[in-house]
Amino acid sequence: YNHFPRHLKWQNNNVTFRIVNYTPDLKKSDVNRAIRTALNVWSDVTPLTFKKLHEGNADIMISFGAKEHGDYNPFDGPNGLLAHAYPPGPGIGGDTHFDEDEHWSKDSSAYNLFIVAAHELGHALGMSHSTDPGALMYPVYSYATGFPLSEDDIEGIQALYGPNPNHRKVKPKPDAPNKCDPMLSFDAVTELRGETIIFKDRFYWRLHPQMPEPEQTLIKSTWPSIPNKVDAAYENSEKDVVIIFSGIRMWALNGYDLVDGYPKYIHKLGLPKKVRKIDAAVHIRDTGKTLLFTDEDYWSYDEATSTMDSGYPRTIEEDFPGMDDEVDAAAYHYGHLYFFHDHIQYEYSYTSRKVIRILRTNSILNC
């Protein structure tokens, strides 16, 4: 986390705020609720209290404006800059401005006002931007549900104001997964146009042959329409498409764009309704088959005919001897299958039908 220079903060823990105007995108009551809930996030973990004024000057003046809106710090139209706020202090200090050219929502359909307000009010209380992609104070917008403060955010604000005297217990948002955690497991792995994409929690790592360090990013920052939790993924490079599985739905990505008509139900592939989740998926380019792993079984899907092969499901143990009986994620490179289960990675020779190497899962992340 970071503070502003000189660790600017409110000297009085009882801070006032006023909502000067409202966006037409939402009902007034929704805006009031979003702002109040956003303030509660910070008062939950500090001694701060927030009193609403309906006229006159408050410490934190909240308003919606477009382009040049009176502070010589113009907004830029839709997307790009969403909002900004000023560090604690007199006059414009603490003031919080939202770009009216954005579309504001109370869900994930557009920019979620509560999430942006919680971030901006963090600035109005003295927090600057965090480099932790899992922190609320990270500068890039990403939609998430649940309590928005991570451990990093809580440590930062309590360094300024101390903890909540009533010791309210809050469950911080989980931090970004650590790639060198020896017990690291993966949710899903896929190729994407020559890169390897590894999904874990709300994040993904991107491995590029020329990039020494894997780059960690929030899933929602790149693909706002797919869920924060990916179960399985595979690339069909012949069709230049990546299929992402989450629960009983699947999404198709062409590069970074969502293919029209998705999401679809996984049962469209020919899976029985009792299958509620796919644990891992991998496309075997040499055979044109896609293997779908669910619990101890797996299925073979023929991409050319878009049908499930007969004689399935078969058990993983039976056809992939030496492997675990379940799979978290799977990838295929040059005749070798890579199975990931918990913190172990199995390199499996598809031709000689046996495990040829066992590694730690995160060895693929240069750990």
Partner 1 sequence: FALPLPSEDNNRLLAEKYLRRFYDLPAALQGKSSGTFETKIKAMQRFFNLKVSGNLDDNTLEVMKLARCGVPDIGE
What is the contact surface with partner 1 in residues (CB under 8 A)?
A: 4-5, 73, 75, 79-85, 99, 111, 116, 119-120, 123, 128-129, 131, 133, 139-141, 211-213, 215-216, 221
CB 33 within 8 A of CB 41: no
Residues 6+ apart with CB under 8 A from 12: none
Nearer to partner 1, 212 or 261 (CB): 212
Closer residue to partner 1 in complex, CB, 112/361? 112
Query: Which is closer to partner 1, CB of 137 or CB of 364?
Result: 137
Of 301, 268, 267, give the one whose Cα is nearest residue 284. 301
Nearest-approach distance from CB 343 to partner 1, in angstroms: 23
> In the complex with partner 1, which residue's Cβ is closer, 140 or 183?
140
Nearer of residues 95 and 328 to partner 1, judged by Cβ: 95
In a 13 Å sphere around the CA of 233, the CA atoms on its Cβ side amount to 24
**Is 287 in contact with 303 (CB distance < 8 Å)?**
no
Quick one: how far is CA 300 from the chain centroid? 30
Name the residue nearer to partner 1 (CB basis): 183 or 211.
211
- Among residues 73 and 349, whose Cβ is nearest to partner 1? 73
For 164, how many CA atoms within 13 A lie in the half-sphere containing its CB?
13
**Distance of alpha carbon 45 from alpha carbon 48, whole angstroms:** 8
DSSP, res 173: B
Helices (H), 150-280: 151-161, 219-222
DSSP single-letter state for residue 3 = B
Determine the Cα–Cα distance for residues 280 and 335; give it in Å rounded to an integer: 18
Beta bridge partners of residue 356, listed in sequence order: none
Give min distance, CB of 327 to partner 1, in A. Answer: 29
Q: Least distance from C-beta 365 to partner 1, angstroms?
A: 13
Which residue of the set 100, 102, 120, 191 is catalytic? 120
Query: Catalytic residue at 120?
Result: yes
Minimum separation from the CB atom of position 27 to partner 1 (A): 23
Residue 274's contacts (CB-CB under 8 Å, 6 or more residues apart) are: none
Beta strands across the sheet bearing 344-349:
329-333, 336-341, 344-349, 354-360
Q: How far is the CB of 201 from partner 1 (least distance, A)?
A: 16
Give dist(CA 182, CA 362) in Å, integer: 7
Q: Which residues of 47-57 are buried (b: 16+ CB within 10 A; e: fewer)?
A: ebebeeeeeee
CA distance 253 to 255: 6
In the bound complex, what is the minimum distance in angstroms from residue 200's beta carbon to partner 1?
A: 15
Is residue 88 within 8 A of residue 9, CB to CB? The reply is yes
| CB of 190 closer than 8 Å to CB of 331 | yes
Closest distance to partner 1 from the beta carbon of 11 (Å): 20
Residues with a known catalytic role: 120
